[in-house]
Amino acid sequence: MPNNLLPSPRRTLGALLPGILLCSGVSGAALALQSLEVKVFGQAWLEALVLAILIGVTLRSVWAPGRRWKAGTDFSAKTLLEVAVLLLGASIDPETIMAAGPALVVGIAGVVASALAVSYGIGRLLGLPPRMAVLVACGNSICGNSAIAATAPVIGAHGDDVAAAIAFTAVLGVLVVLGLPLLVPLLGLTPMQYGVFAGLTVYAVPQILAATAPVGALSVQVGTLVKLLRVLMLGPVVVALALMAKPEGAAQEGGVKTRLPLRRLVPWFILGFLALAGLRAAGLIPDAALAASQTAAGVLTVLSMAALGLGVDVRMLSRAGLRVTAAVVLSLAALGAIGLGLIRLLEIM
CB 166 within 8 A of CB 158: no
Q: What is the pLDDT of residue 298?
A: 82
H or E segment to which residue 256 belongs = strand 255-256
Closest CA to 123 of 339, 325, 319, 320: 325
As a whole number of angstroms, the distance between CA 44 and CA 10 comes to 39
Q: What is the pLDDT of residue 197?
A: 94
Percent of the chain surpassing pLDDT 70: 80
Closest CA to 202 of 167, 172, 161, 232: 172
The highest-confidence range among 100-109, 135-144, 183-192, by mean pLDDT, is: 183-192
As a whole number of angstroms, the distance between CA 346 and CA 220 comes to 20
What is the per-residue pLDDT across 135-152, written as a single tens digit (0 to 9) for each?
889 988 887 776 786 787
Q: What is the pLDDT of residue 253?
A: 38
- Parallel/antiparallel/unpaired status of strands 251-252 and 255-256: antiparallel
For the ranges 8-22, 82-96, 158-172, the lowest mean pLDDT is seen at: 158-172
With bands split at pLDDT 50, 70 and 90, how would you rate the model's confidence at 324? confident
As a whole number of angstroms, the distance between CA 305 and CA 85 comes to 13
More confident residue, 255 or 281: 281
Contacts of 334 (CB under 8 A, 6+ apart): 115, 118, 119, 122
Average pLDDT over residues 234-258: 58
